[in-house]
Amino acid sequence: MLFRQRYIGLIDRYKDRLPVHDDTRIISLGEGNTPLIRLNNIPALLQKDVDIYIKYEGLNPTGSFKDRGMTMAVTKAVEEGSKAIICASTGNTSASAAAYASRAGITAFVLIPEGKIALGKLAQAMMHGAVVLQIRGNFDAGMQLVKEVAEHTPVTIVNSINPYRLQGQKTAAFEILEELGASPDYHCIPVGNAGNITAHWMGYSEYHKNGIVNTRPVMVGYQAAGSAPFLRGAMVENPETVATAIRIGHPQSWDKAWNVQKDSSGWFDECTDKVILDAQKMLAEKEGIFCEPASATSLAGAMQDIKTGKIPEGSKIVCTLTGHGLKDPDTAIKQSGGEGSLITIDATLDSVRSAIMDHY
């Protein structure tokens, strides 16, 4: 008989490990269960004997890992009777909040930094009918405002300071462990507010504590050089980077992430915008995997540390790709030479044939 169990979403999948009840109304779009793709070509280009896996979180319903946390946050908000949710966002949280709010039939208010959000993310928030408040300020200013306004207004914050967000996001670590059958040696991940690195460590630790796996990975968090408070050891007032999703100077999970670093014997490092964009292009060109700039920071950083030997040969490495490349078409087209670099020809057989021969 032909049968494949329908995948309903990560809350259903991990019900016994998440704070839900049997009668909880689950707000889901089928998030999670993302591919773990082993890189074929890049390790050879690095001339290093390493095993690199990509956890392709861009394949979640709204195109980023935020959906893992949002299904939990919105499910609990609805369970607790909330009629509206609110977040500050560099883009992906607003897209996810907007989608899950419309699914639940409640209102999403999103605060985004004017002019600093990738086009795809803005399109999503608008399309799902969120109330989009563009502020003349950056993410950190928006986050501060959200915290203050939520004290006096009946809205539930769905940023990663909402503990249900991290509960949902820890399931990415479960999936990795189940698929590899053991812990990777290193887990490399982009860091903005540092909620996701914290959530992954929670997930790894939960399976470790329950004896499902014997070891846990070394957690390595990478930031963009212009926006790297964990490297500076202090908040950054005017963060700047092409990787807008991690353009954050005041990480909300500051203490938690330092604990992850200590507990896992890991480290933080930074990548320049150029190195980030090169890694994004390399993934797209050499492996067929398209992620947004911030996401490529994990592989960019891993490659830096593989080259220096800080991540030694023989290692099994997982890099999280946090968001889909289609989120930020402007940056993608720009770094592929711009629309001016397209080959324009007459609509004739001769022109097509000679263009093919020119590039064969």
Ligand X SMILES: *Cc1c(COP(=O)(O)O)cnc(C)c1O
Which residues are at the interface with ligand X (CB under 6 A)? 64, 66, 92, 160, 190-196, 245-246, 292, 294-295, 322-323
- Name the residue nearer to ligand X (CB basis): 92 or 315: 92
Alpha carbons 98 and 33: distance in angstroms, whole number: 21
Supply the minimum distance, in Å, between the C-beta of residue 56 and ligand X.
12
**Are the beta carbons of 109 and 133 closer than 8 angstroms?**
yes
Supply the minimum distance, in Å, between the C-beta of residue 64 and ligand X.
5
Alpha carbons 119 and 291: distance in angstroms, whole number: 14
Q: What is the largest CA-CA distance in the chain?
A: 69
- Name the residue nearer to ligand X (CB basis): 315 or 322: 322
Nearest 5 degrees, angle CA 251-CA 76-CA 63?
60
Q: How many CA atoms lie less than 13 Å away from 347 in the CB half-sphere?
A: 0
Supply the minimum distance, in Å, between the C-beta of residue 33 and ligand X.
19
- Name the residue nearer to ligand X (CB basis): 43 or 218: 218
- Name the residue nearer to ligand X (CB basis): 61 or 323: 323
List beta partners, residue 318: 53, 187
> In the structure encoding, which two tokens stand for residue 251, read together?
């990480």
CB count within 10 Å of CB 12 equals 16
Supply the minimum distance, in Å, between the C-beta of residue 88 and ligand X.
11
- Name the residue nearer to ligand X (CB basis): 82 or 196: 196
| Strand, coil or helix: 30 | coil
- Name the residue nearer to ligand X (CB basis): 48 or 187: 187
Supply the minimum distance, in Å, between the C-beta of residue 246 and ligand X.
5
**Are the beta carbons of 323 and 58 closer than 8 angstroms?**
yes
Supply the minimum distance, in Å, between the C-beta of residue 66 and ligand X.
6
